[in-house]
Structure 1
Amino acid sequence: MKLTRTTRTGWLLVLPLLAFILVTFIAPIALMLLRSAYDPELAELMPRTRVALAVWDGAGMPPATAFDAARDDLATSAQQGTTGRLVLRLNREGLGLGPLIEATCAALQTRPTAQLANLDPQWQSRAVWQVLASQTQVFTATHFLNAFDFKVDADGSVEPQDSSRRIYVALFLRTLGVAATVTVLCALLGYPLAHAITRSGPRLRLVLLFTVMLPFWTSLLVRATAWIVLLQRKGVLNEMLVAAGVLRDNQRLELIYNLTGTIIVMVHVLLPFFVLPLYSVMVGLPDAYVRASASLGARPLYTFWRVYLPLTFPGIASGSILVFVLSLGYYVTPALVGGRTGQLISNQIAFHMQQSLNWGLAAALGSVLLAIVIMIALALPHLTRRGGLSV
């Protein structure tokens, strides 16, 4: 079937937008997914070792060619000044090979043809070679295992991380818990507000909509700073409670730089994302259903539960999912007001991208978060189609 001239023209007009989405959205996500499993750094630093260990089955000691290849790679690393990268890469996994690599590279600068076993007896350990064989693979599941607090042992078995390194599952659960809490609070605060806007007159409705939209027009940094001024120990709220005699001076509330502060500020920022979709549904509902229920003798609470609430369910579902998804990826607010206990998984992703430079682990954490968002997005059409009156 041939395309008509109108169809071709339409596609040509859409092409710039498609190219923009491909370059700025799809390509970065694809690179992130690739980076989470593709880790060629150690393979590039020790190319001869990777080739020599590719034929080793892991039983017994590796062939003599592997010793020579590792020695040549480490000597090259010492000459090129990449020893620091090599040590950092191995120490990042908590494998304990950094000191051995560093000492061997230093010794090879004066004895470039020496045997590794003569430089350090640890090179006679099969566990060292098993680690090098697993870590020099180009494609690896190590980062995804780390994202779920697991690790690959020297013999290739998967086991839980040490208790001191099990942080990511707890962070994911905290992020999901904070997102659920923020969503519930936005629903409790936003539903009456959306209903009030719907039932208000034209002038009051304009004022209420302006109040809802105001956070959109205010800088996120300004909003966070204002909440810090309000909620800190010497802030406005605590000073008012102490002055009113509700609290003693030594009983001031800890409302900022913790999880409480993160939730409060996130609710304030995300409340419009719940109110506006719900308001758009409420404003289009005819009053005939509510009047019919009342004329049949139903009490107001029964009318709300059986008539009004089911009709507004699509707005509730849309606003809730929108708030929940946005909460999952929040970074700036927890960084500003979260303190130590208010950090979410997004802050840990930023840490690995900017400070530890463990981009593979950051990509794996981001991929897990993306999978959660996709599952929620797939459930969205089913939730928004629900609602309506039931007989």
Structure 2
Amino acid sequence: MSDAASQTGPVLSADGKPLKRSLQRALRAQKLRALALIAPLLIFILVTFIAPIADMLFRSVENQIVSDTLPRTTRALQDWDHKAGQPPSEDVFAAFTYDLVAAAERKEHTRLGTRLNYEMTGISSLFRKTGRRVDDFGETYMDQFTQVDPALERPETWMTLMAAPDWQADYAAWDAARVAANKAGRDFDQPAPLFRLKAGVAEVLPETADAYAEFARLAQTENADNPADEEPWPPVFLALYRDLIHVGPGAIGRLDDASQAILAPAHDAVETFETVDLVDLYLDADEDWQNPQVWATIQAFAPAYTPGYFLSSVDLKQTPDGVAAQPEDQRIYVMLFQRTLFMSLVIMGSCVLLGYPIAYLLSNLPMRTSNVLLILVLLPFWTSLLVRTSAWKVLLQQQGVINDVLVWMGIVADDARLVMINNQFGTIVAMTHILLPFMILPLYSVMKTIPPSYVRAAKSLGATNWTAFWRVYFPQSVPGIGAGCILVFILAIGYYITPELVGGTTGTFISNRIAYHISSSLNWGLAAALGTILLAVVLILYWLYDRIVGIDNVSLG
């Protein structure tokens, strides 16, 4: 026995390997096969459901356009106090000039103006008008610099002053390879080496180096040009003046001989230059640039992420001084959310009241008769939603069929026809008709599973028809009611076409406003925030329903 016990080891499989390891390997392979089978469905759900929701959540707080388009301006505005009631200093205007001329070159200044216009009306036109003129800011200094040294007008002079020698060598090699490929008839898709500054020039001429590097890189990326063939923007000369007026001769001496030869005459002459107030150039473009609120708005929305869209969704707004209420005539979103929830509940209740008797009738009629009637219930699914909604417009309008019948019967006077369209009544009637099958089908499927013998047994024990129905039949149909209510309510709260066509000004839903911001105003951030709030409301109501009724009691039969 002791010898047998000493030879006892792990249990082996048929191939001589430990059984435990073999079982783990087999289980892992089985899980991988199962995952491979459901992978297409998971990918489909991820692409069509999870990814759009994640994108919506991101867009509702994303605000990177301000900091990405005006990086110098946002940094310069960090120490500016808008409460002083004065526009920022000329340094801020200079930083804004470099940002705006680059944004105008990329055609991004109008997008930025549109974004900021959501927060302060009028900024969009400011950016459009100034974007057309900012390219000329600095022409006065450009003319004076070229009078001192005509070479400053030539692109190759700026290459000597700003471009790194190794970049010039790399670019020359790239250009030679491109020319050779074109001569040989070969495709050449290698990107050009991006412009690099000469070492040390940014320390001596910080604004000029920054502005010129932006110009050179945009010439490459936006226009596919060689910076060595392009004359710099006039704002680059503005930057050169601002640098030279503050730099001493000793700093210029730290540059190479070629750069010193270019800059020394200009540095000696800048003290005699005719100066131009940069602020006055902006005021000539538009006097609103002296309004501190314009700059305070840029400062307030400089962060990459903002709660501004969510605040606007609940009739608030982010201001430089904090959160404030929207003007009274612009407070519409809370009212729209309340209207959407109220009307969705009314539509759901109408579908329950109308759908329950129909489902009860269908489930208790003979099979042949109930099948024929069930086709009538399903018939709306085979008819275009647009056609059904348009039919209600014909029926409900003041010169429509229903009003004509009421006038013919003498119930309504011809000059007092009922207004049943372009209001909440029209939306409720049309959507109840459209969503009624979604209530009837779950009810019908549940009612078909209720044995008729239960009601007969209750009656045989002395219960009245009402008592047998209310105490025996109805509780068993509650799961169908729950399923129908969830279907109808969730479909109603996000409906768009029907409220748009028959709702008018008092019967539209929040979904119509979301569609407006997506397709017309292009305020996708606000549309995403409204959609996120709507999703949160649905999830909260779903949670409450689960707590009160219990989602386990919902059944589709």
Same fold (TM over 0.5): yes
Moved more, 239-248 or 20-29: 239-248
How far apart, in 2, do the equivalents of 1:116 and 1:102 lie? 18
Whether contact under 8 Å (1:172, 1:345) holds in the other structure is yes
Residue 331 of structure 1, CA deviation: 0.6
Report the alpha carbon displacement of residue 241 of structure 1 after superposing the two structures with TM: 1.5
Is 1:50 aligned with 2:50? no
CA contact (8 A) 1:232 1:255 kept: yes
CA distance in 1, matches of 2:448, 2:105: 72
Separation in 2, partners of 1:372, 1:204:
41
**Selected match of 1:327 from 472, 492, 498:** 492
Per-residue deviation, 1:56: 5.7
Equivalent in the alignment of 1:73: 99
Q: What letter matches 1:340 in structure 2?
A: T
Q: How far apart are the structure 2 equivalents of 1:291 and 1:385?
A: 28
Is residue 342 of structure 1 aligned with residue 342 of structure 2? no
Query: Bigger shift: 376-385 or 25-34?
Result: 376-385
CA distance in 2 between counterparts of 1:77 and 1:8 reads: 51
In 1: Cα distance, 2:278 partner to 2:433 partner:
61
Indicate the structure (1 or 2) with the bigger Cα radius of gyration: 2
Aligned to 1:129: 295
Q: Counterparts of 1:296 and 1:116 in 2: how far apart (Å)? A: 97
In 1: Cα distance, 2:277 partner to 2:360 partner? 79
Tell me, in whole angstroms, the C-alpha distance in 2 between the residues paired with 1:130 and 1:226: 52
How far apart are the structure 1 equivalents of 2:514 and 2:445? 35
Which residue of structure 1 aligns with residue 224 of structure 2?
Answer: none
Unaligned ranges ≥5, structure 2:
1-23, 139-237, 239-275
Larger mean Cα displacement after TM superposition, 40-49 or 29-38: 40-49
Question: In the alignment, does 2:199 pair up with 1:34?
Answer: no
Query: % of aligned pairs identical?
Result: 45
Shift of 1:178: 1.0
Report the Cα offset of residue 164 of structure 1: 1.2
- Counterpart for residue 363 of structure 1: 528
* Cα contact 1:43–1:137 (8 A) shared by 2: yes
Distance 1:306 1:57, change over 3 A: farther
Shift of 1:198: 0.8
- Given candidates 81, 105, 111, the residue that maps to 2:137 is 111
Letter of the structure 1 residue corresponding to residue 62 of structure 2: Y
Separation of aligned partners in 2, 1:204 and 1:289: 23
How far residue 58 of structure 1 moved from its aligned partner, in angstroms, is 6.4
Report what 1:141 is aligned to. Answer: 307
Matches of 1:253 and 1:94, distance apart in 2:
42
Distance 1:294 1:179 in 2: 38
Could you tell me how far 1:293 is from its partner in structure 2? 2.5
Contact 2:61-2:525 within 8 A present in 1 as well: yes
Q: CA deviation at 1:223?
A: 1.0
Which amino acid is the alignment partner of residue 365 of structure 2? S
2:66 maps to amino acid? L
Task: Kindly report which structure 2 residues correspond to 1:258-273, keeping only aligned pairs within 5 A, or say none.
Answer: 258-273=423-438
**CA-CA distance at 1:147 after TM superposition:** 0.3
Once the two structures are TM-superposed, the CA of residue 105 in structure 1 deviates from its matched residue by 4.2
**Aligned residue number for residue 163 of structure 1:** 328
Provide the rounded CA distance (Å) in 2 between the counterparts of 1:97 and 1:357. 16
**1:234 to 1:13, Cα distance in 2 relative to 1, 3 A:** same
Alpha-carbon distance, 1:246 to partner: 1.8
Taking the aligned partners of 2:413 and 2:290, their CA distance within structure 1 comes to 67
Question: Superposed, which structure 2 residues align to 1:1-391 within 5 Å?
Answer: 1-2=24-25, 3=27, 5-54=29-78, 65-98=91-124, 100-102=126-128, 104-105=130-131, 108-112=134-138, 113=238, 115-118=277-280, 119-120=282-283, 126-155=292-321, 157-382=322-547, 383=549, 384-385=551-552
| Higher mean C-alpha deviation, range 126-135 or range 23-32 | 126-135
CA distance in 2, matches of 1:123, 1:352: 28
Higher mean displacement: 213-222 or 183-192: 213-222
Q: Which moved more, 1:301-310 or 1:71-80?
A: 71-80
Q: How does the TM-score come out when normalised to structure 1? A: 0.90
Instruction: Return the offset for 1:95.
Output: 4.9
Cα displacement (A) at 1:173: 0.6
- What amino acid is aligned across from residue 94 of structure 1 in structure 2? M
Q: CA contact under 8 A between 2:300 and 2:319: conserved in structure 1?
A: no
For residues 322-354 of structure 1, the C-alpha deviation after alignment (integer angstroms, 9 at most, x for no partner) is 100110100111122222222111110010001
Which amino acid letter does the alignment assign opposite residue 86 of structure 1? L
Task: Select between 224-233 and 378-387 the one with higher mean Cα deviation.
Answer: 378-387
Task: Kindly provide the CA deviation profile for residues 96-153 of structure 1, in whole angstroms up to 9, marking residues without a partner as x.
Answer: 5445545554553443445553343765665443321111221000000000000012
Number of corresponding residues: 386
Q: Is the alpha carbon distance of 1:186 and 1:66 closer, same or farther for their aligned partners in structure 2, counting shifts above 3 Å?
A: same
Separation of aligned partners in 1, 2:302 and 2:342: 38
Determine if contact 1:352/1:361 at 8 Å carries over to the other structure: yes
Ranges in structure 1 where 5+ consecutive residues have no aligned partner: none
- Name the structure, 1 or 2, with higher relative contact order (CA <8 Å, separation 6+): 1
Alpha-carbon distance, 1:5 to partner: 4.4
Q: Is the 2:403–2:417 Cα contact (8 Å) retained in structure 1?
A: yes
- Of residues 296-305 and 54-63 in structure 1, the stretch that sits farther from structure 2 once superposed is 54-63
Shift of 1:35: 0.4
TM-score by length of 2: 0.64
Residues 82 and 293, structure 2, Cα contact 8 Å, conserved in 1: no
Larger deviation: 25-34 or 239-248? 239-248
Q: In the alignment, what sits opposite 2:216? A: none
For the 8 Å contact 1:318–1:380, the answer to whether it is kept is no
| 1:116 to 1:299, Cα distance in 2 relative to 1, 3 A | farther
| SS state at 1:234 partner | coil
Answer yes or no: is the 8 Å Cα contact 2:90–2:279 preserved in 1: no
3-state SS of 1:279 partner: helix
**Is the contact between residue 321 and residue 380 of structure 1 (CA under 8 Å) also seen in structure 2?**
no
Which residue is 2:190 aligned to? none
CA gap of 1:329–1:184, structure 2 versus 1, over 3 A, is same
Deviation track 1:202-238 (CA, whole Å, cap 9, x = no partner) reads: 1210122111111111111111122222222222212
Q: Is residue 79–residue 109 contact of structure 1 (8 Å, CA) maintained in 2?
A: no
Counterpart residue identity of residue 474, structure 2: L
Letter in 2 for 1:145: L
Q: What RMSD over aligned residues (CA atoms) do the two structures have, in Å?
A: 2.5
